[in-house]
């Protein structure tokens, strides 16, 4: 595998959940690449499919989520994750690809010390000796600025921010190539949020892993991610360089989102948000899925589903840009 | 300022934790005094654990204060002895909760919850008048047509619509002050602003005051007239929203504001990764509760708890260091003094 090959290639990925009224497609033909050491943020509202996409990438679908990959490929370091067996996946998980879950309070075992949980992970995925495990555990805790004495602490003895950092420390036990994070900061205060994300960036610079960071708060990643993917109703609405997306949003949904939250700087303008609410994926609207809420809607939007088009390196799904496709 | 609707004086709430012998005292709210005017939106901001929600519960009479008093329209609420008086107060000061998914009974239609409140708090209304009132408040919160929405079940509504039902329930009491505890934090970004706008509209149209409790400083600036900042159970800064948030004087308010992500701000990370933690205020010693995280700490901070003092017009700050002149210069001067002392 050469340096120029992407770390992760997602091709035409679709995921569906079973329901009484037939399959509900939560991730619809998603297609993107991730380079080594890249920081990709995925943003969207609840129900847009961002968490499903993340569970699919890590092959964590299945009970109780009961979702199923119904098409597409996930090529991670040359292997198609979709077709790997549980056994093969075990050798990849933690060692090459680690996950940091949303709520550290629920993701950590409340009746085991941090040390015991790290030991479990090490025993399951390596042949390390007890001594090595201990040394490595101390090392990763120091990486996230937690005193190694907390190895003997139970989760409830740590503050919310420390718990979340301990989760990140566990994810780094084997120095993976890719760390996938599902809203790792959503339970934290703004001050703790910012310090955690600054720390993730520092670790990334030091260790060189790539990050996929799923969040509903796009302002949070505005200064941190390399690229930004905006999802709406199971599809990519826009994907581009973070600064470009913020400075020159292309999709009407992206610009709507950017105008939906107040700022602490500049004039205190009256905002309108986006009218209506996200669609029910069991019955997505015909044509463009954003058309019922879109201020620029035309007749054609309600009939034909737009494709992703390339505009100056950004991908955007909107007929406004169809004439300008490269 | 408009005339005072509600006033607290030295409001304090402690909780006993641990066993009887090893008992300790958690200070949730310590000596907090503030006012809320008629038709005024006051935002209460701070990190989780700073005592914001305890204040909400004290005002709603869920907790009794350990000491201190709340005066509503000039009368102390601890003296509300009779059931009728207490009922009248909870009708005047209702609460809207954070989670619209668990605060509405899923087994009943929307109209049911609203009508129950009306029946309890406004007994003079006939059945037909009650039904009209339900429709009126639903229309007032933007759930139009109210007649149709009243017949829906909560599961048929989106998160934003449910939170509007919460406001409709409160509005049906003809309240004077609505306590809204993080009313938008569970909602999707694209619909939050609608609920914030609703609060401003209700203030304009119905003359209701709001205590808006939040950790989102930008939304506080968006709708509030005045801002109260809490840290470690103390009120540390207070003043007109624009003043406080554009020219914060307390170092904690400054830290809070510097942490707010703002995509409109130019790129450039000020890499102050503050790893401090908000304090759990258990049997606190004397001294400023922010001192461990404060870059401007002086000797006095370790021994004397700073009290709120007037700094400029309508502003109060609990900090030994802050002065009435432009705070930035002031802190900069102190910073150089501290640096030269180190050298």
Mean pLDDT computed over every residue of chain B:
87
Q: What is the mean pLDDT of residues B301-318?
A: 91
Given a cut of 60, whether residue B274 has pLDDT beyond it is no
For residue A306, the model assigns a pLDDT of 94
d(CA A15, nearest CA chain B) in Å: 23
Distance CA A50, CA A204 (A): 22
Given a cut of 50, whether residue A1 has pLDDT beyond it is no
Sign, CA torsion B310/B311/B312/B314: negative
Q: Give Cα A288 distance to the centre of its chain.
A: 24
Does B266 contact chain A (CB < 8 Å)?
no
* Reported confidence tier of residue B99, pLDDT bands at 50, 70, 90: confident
Given a cut of 90, whether residue B308 has pLDDT beyond it is yes
- Nearest Cβ partner for A262 among B219, B261, B269: B219
pLDDT digits (tens, 9 = 90+) for A148-195: 999 999 998 888 888 888 999 999 999 999 999 998 887 777 888 888
* Reported confidence tier of residue B1, pLDDT bands at 50, 70, 90: very low
- Beta strand A235-241 with A178-182 is unpaired
**Residues in Cβ contact with B333 at an 8 Å cutoff, skipping those fewer than 6 apart:** none
Q: Which residues from chain B sit within 8 angstroms of residue A216, using beta carbons?
A: 188-189
**Residues in Cβ contact with B257 at an 8 Å cutoff, skipping those fewer than 6 apart:** A264, B217, B245, B248
Given a cut of 80, whether residue A3 has pLDDT beyond it is no
Query: Is the Cβ–Cβ distance between B43 and B224 less than 8 Å?
Result: yes
pLDDT digits (tens, 9 = 90+) for A308-324: 999 988 999 999 998 65
Predicted interface score ipTM higher than 0.85: no
Q: Which of A174, A6, A1, A160 is nearest to A99 (CA)?
A: A174
> Chain B residue closest to A161 (CA)?
B277
> Chain A residue closest to B50 (CA)?
A189
Is residue B145 classed exposed, middle or buried when 0-12, 13-18 and 19+ CB atoms within 10 A define those classes?
Answer: exposed
- Nearest Cβ partner for A264 among B245, B269, B274: B245
CB contact under 8 A, B192 and A217: no
Residue B237: CA count within 13 A, CB half-sphere: 26
- How much of chain B exceeds pLDDT 70, in percent? 89
B329 vs B104 pLDDT, higher one:
B104
B331 vs B278 pLDDT, higher one:
B278
Q: Which residues from chain A sit within 8 angstroms of residue B194, using beta carbons?
A: 273, 275
**Residues in Cβ contact with B240 at an 8 Å cutoff, skipping those fewer than 6 apart:** B225, B226, B227, B314, B315
User: Quick count: other Cβ atoms within 10 Å of Cβ A102?
Assistant: 20
d(CA A199, nearest CA chain B) in Å: 7
For residue A325, the model assigns a pLDDT of 46
State the alpha helices, DSSP H only, in A101-207. Answer: 104-107, 114-125, 130-143, 160-171, 190-207
Q: Give Cα B105 distance to the centre of its chain.
A: 25
Distance CA A64, CA A96 (A): 25
Query: Is the Cβ–Cβ distance between B36 and B59 less than 8 Å?
Result: no
Given a cut of 70, whether residue A222 has pLDDT beyond it is yes
For residue B343, the model assigns a pLDDT of 44
DSSP letter assigned to residue B286: S
> Chain A residue closest to B262 (CA)?
A219
* Reported confidence tier of residue B300, pLDDT bands at 50, 70, 90: very high
CB contact under 8 A, A220 and B261: yes
- How much of chain A exceeds pLDDT 70, in percent? 96
pLDDT digits (tens, 9 = 90+) for B18-34: 766 777 889 999 999 99
CB contact under 8 A, B259 and A199: no
d(CA B126, nearest CA chain A) in Å: 35
Is residue A31 classed exposed, middle or buried when 0-12, 13-18 and 19+ CB atoms within 10 A define those classes?
Answer: middle
d(CA A271, nearest CA chain B) in Å: 7
**What is the three-class DSSP state of B185?**
coil
CB contact under 8 A, B219 and A243: no
- Nearest Cβ partner for A274 among B48, B190, B275: B190
pLDDT digits (tens, 9 = 90+) for B62-85: 999 999 999 999 999 999 989 999
Given a cut of 70, whether residue A81 has pLDDT beyond it is yes
User: Quick count: other Cβ atoms within 10 Å of Cβ B204?
Assistant: 10
- Nearest Cβ partner for B188 among A46, A258, A271: A46
Range in A264-268, A299-303, B145-149, B289-293 the model is least confident about: A264-268
- Beta strand B67-72 with B177-181 is unpaired
Q: Which residues from chain B sit within 8 angstroms of residue A223, using beta carbons?
A: 261, 263, 267-269
pLDDT digits (tens, 9 = 90+) for A118-145: 999 999 999 999 999 999 999 999 988 8
For residue B312, the model assigns a pLDDT of 82
- Nearest Cβ partner for A265 among B48, B262, B269: B262
CB contact under 8 A, B271 and A198: yes
CB contact under 8 A, B277 and A161: yes
Query: Is the Cβ–Cβ distance between A7 and A36 less than 8 Å?
Result: yes
For residue B323, the model assigns a pLDDT of 78
d(CA A320, nearest CA chain B) in Å: 21
- B169: its two tokens: 């329930």
Q: A141 φ, ψ to 5°?
A: -65, -40
**What is the three-class DSSP state of A16?**
strand
d(CA B220, nearest CA chain A) in Å: 9
Distance CA A45, CA B159 (A): 12
Query: Is the Cβ–Cβ distance between A242 and A225 less than 8 Å?
Result: yes
Q: Look at the block and give the residue holding tokens 């390596």.
A: A126
CB contact under 8 A, B218 and A262: yes
Q: Look at the block and give the residue holding tokens 């994070």.
A: A181
- Beta strand B226-231 with A39-43 is unpaired
For residue A8, the model assigns a pLDDT of 96
Query: Is the Cβ–Cβ distance between B276 and B292 less than 8 Å?
Result: yes
Does B192 contact chain A (CB < 8 Å)?
yes
pLDDT digits (tens, 9 = 90+) for A251-272: 999 999 988 888 888 888 888 8
- Nearest Cβ partner for B277 among A159, A199, A272: A159
Does B219 contact chain A (CB < 8 Å)?
yes
B231 vs B334 pLDDT, higher one:
B231
Q: B28 φ, ψ to 5°?
A: -85, -40
For residue B281, the model assigns a pLDDT of 83
For residue A326, the model assigns a pLDDT of 42
Distance CA B211, CA B198 (A): 14
Q: Which of A41, A39, A34 is nearest to A6 (CA)?
A: A34
pLDDT digits (tens, 9 = 90+) for A31-77: 999 999 999 999 998 888 998 999 999 998 877 667 899 999 999 99
Q: pTM of the entire structure?
A: 0.86
For residue A30, the model assigns a pLDDT of 96
- A236: its two tokens: 């990519």
- Nearest Cβ partner for B190 among A189, A260, A262: A260
* Reported confidence tier of residue B221, pLDDT bands at 50, 70, 90: very high
Q: Which residues from chain A sit within 8 angstroms of residue B190, using beta carbons?
A: 45, 256-257, 260, 273-274, 277-278
* Reported confidence tier of residue A5, pLDDT bands at 50, 70, 90: confident
Q: What is the mean pLDDT of residues A21-26?
A: 88
Q: Look at the block and give the residue holding tokens 């093969």.
A: A88
Is residue B329 classed exposed, middle or buried when 0-12, 13-18 and 19+ CB atoms within 10 A define those classes?
Answer: exposed
Distance CA A8, CA A80 (A): 10
Q: What is the mean pLDDT of residues B94-120?
A: 91
Buried b (16+ CB within 10 A) or exposed e, A241-256: ebbbbbeebbbbbbbb
Q: Which of A162, A40, A88 is nearest to B277 (CA)?
A: A162
Q: Which residues from chain B sit within 8 angstroms of residue A103, using beta carbons?
A: none
Angle between helix axes B251-259 and B327-342 (nearest 10 degrees) is 100
A214 vs A261 pLDDT, higher one:
A214
Q: What is the mean pLDDT of residues A72-83?
A: 94
- A247: its two tokens: 């400075």
Q: Which of A77, A104, A101 is nearest to A91 (CA)?
A: A77
Sign, CA torsion A71/A75/A78/A84: negative
d(CA B257, nearest CA chain A) in Å: 8
**Residues in Cβ contact with B124 at an 8 Å cutoff, skipping those fewer than 6 apart:** none
For residue B340, the model assigns a pLDDT of 54
Given a cut of 60, whether residue B158 has pLDDT beyond it is yes
> Chain B residue closest to A145 (CA)?
B275
Q: Which of B44, B19, B36, B14 is nearest to B217 (CA)?
A: B44
Range in A214-218, A239-243, B114-118 the model is least confident about: A214-218
Q: What is the mean pLDDT of residues B150-157?
A: 91
């Amino acid at each position: 595998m050469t340096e120029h090959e992407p770390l992760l290639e997602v091709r035409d990925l679709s995921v569906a959940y079973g329901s009484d009224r037939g399959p509900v497609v939560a991730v619809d033909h998603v297609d993107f690449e991730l380079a080594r050491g890249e920081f990709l943020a995925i943003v969207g509202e609840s129900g847009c499919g961002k968490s499903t996409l993340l569970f699919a990438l890590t092959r964590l679908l299945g009970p109780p989520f009961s979702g199923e990959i119904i098409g597409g490929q996930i090529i991670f370091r040359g292997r198609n994750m979709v077709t790997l067996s549980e056994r093969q996946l075990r050798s990849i998980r933690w060692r090459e690809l680690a996950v940091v879950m949303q709520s550290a309070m629920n993701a950590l075992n409340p009746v085991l010390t941090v040390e015991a949980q790290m030991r479990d992970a090490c025993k399951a995925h390596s042949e390390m000796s007890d001594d090595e495990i201990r040394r490595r555990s101390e090392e990763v805790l120091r990486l996230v600025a937690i005193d190694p004495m907390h190895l003997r602490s139970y989760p409830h003895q740590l503050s919310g921010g420390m718990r979340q950092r301990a989760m990140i420390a566990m994810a780094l036990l084997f120095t993976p190539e890719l760390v996938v994070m599902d809203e790792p900061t959503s339970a934290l205060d703004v001050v703790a949020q910012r310090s955690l994300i600054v720390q993730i960036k520092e670790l990334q610079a030091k260790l060189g892993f790539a990050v996929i960071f799923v969040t509903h708060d796009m302002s949070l990643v505005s200064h941190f991610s390399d690229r930004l993917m905006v999802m709406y109703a199971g599809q990519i609405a826009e994907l581009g360089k973070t600064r470009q997306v913020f400075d020159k949003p292309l999709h009407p949904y992206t610009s709507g989102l950017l105008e939906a939250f107040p700022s602490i700087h500049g004039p205190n303008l009256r905002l309108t948000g986006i009218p209506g609410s996200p669609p029910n994926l069991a019955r997505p609207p015909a044509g463009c899925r954003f058309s019922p809420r879109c201020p620029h809607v035309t007749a054609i939007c309600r009939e034909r589903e737009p494709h992703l088009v390339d505009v100056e390196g950004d991908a955007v799904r909107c007929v406004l840009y169809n004439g300008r496709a490269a | 300022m408009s005339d005072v609707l509600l006033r607290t004086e030295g409001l304090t709430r402690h909780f006993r934790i641990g066993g009887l012998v090893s008992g300790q005292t958690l200070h949730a709210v310590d000596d907090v005094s503030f006012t809320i005017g008629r038709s005024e939106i006051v935002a209460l901001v701070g990190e989780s654990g700073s005592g914001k929600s305890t204040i909400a519960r004290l005002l709603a009479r869920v907790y009794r204060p350990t000491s201190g008093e709340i005066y509503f329209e000039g009368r102390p609420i601890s003296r509300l002895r009779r059931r009728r008086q207490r009922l009248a107060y909870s009708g005047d000061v209702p609460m809207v909760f954070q989670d619209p998914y668990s605060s509405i009974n899923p087994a009943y239609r929307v109209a049911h919850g609203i009508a129950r409140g009306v029946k309890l708090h406004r007994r003079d209304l006939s059945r037909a008048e009650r039904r009209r009132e339900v429709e009126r408040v639903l229309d007032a919160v933007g759930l139009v047509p109210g007649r149709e929405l009243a017949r829906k079940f909560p599961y048929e509504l989106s998160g934003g619509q449910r939170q509007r039902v919460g406001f409709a329930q409160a509005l049906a009491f003809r309240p004077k002050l609505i306590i809204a505890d993080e009313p938008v934090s569970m909602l999707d970004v694209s619909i939050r602003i609608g609920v914030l706008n609703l609060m401003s509209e209700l203030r304009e149209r119905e003359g209701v005051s709001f205590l808006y409790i939040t950790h989102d400083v930008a939304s506080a600036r968006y709708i509030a007239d005045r801002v109260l900042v809490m840290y470690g159970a103390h009120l540390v800064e207070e003043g007109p929203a624009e003043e406080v948030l554009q020219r914060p004087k307390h170092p904690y308010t400054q830290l809070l504001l510097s942490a707010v992500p703002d995509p409109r701000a130019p790129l450039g990370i000020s890499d102050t990764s503050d790893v401090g933690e908000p304090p759990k205020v258990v049997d606190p010693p004397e001294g400023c509760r922010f001192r461990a995280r404060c870059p401007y700490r002086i000797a006095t901070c370790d021994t004397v708890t700073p009290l709120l003092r007037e700094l400029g017009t309508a502003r109060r700050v609990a900090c030994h260091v802050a002065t009435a002149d432009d705070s930035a210069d002031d802190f900069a001067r102190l910073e150089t003094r501290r640096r030269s002392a180190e050298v």
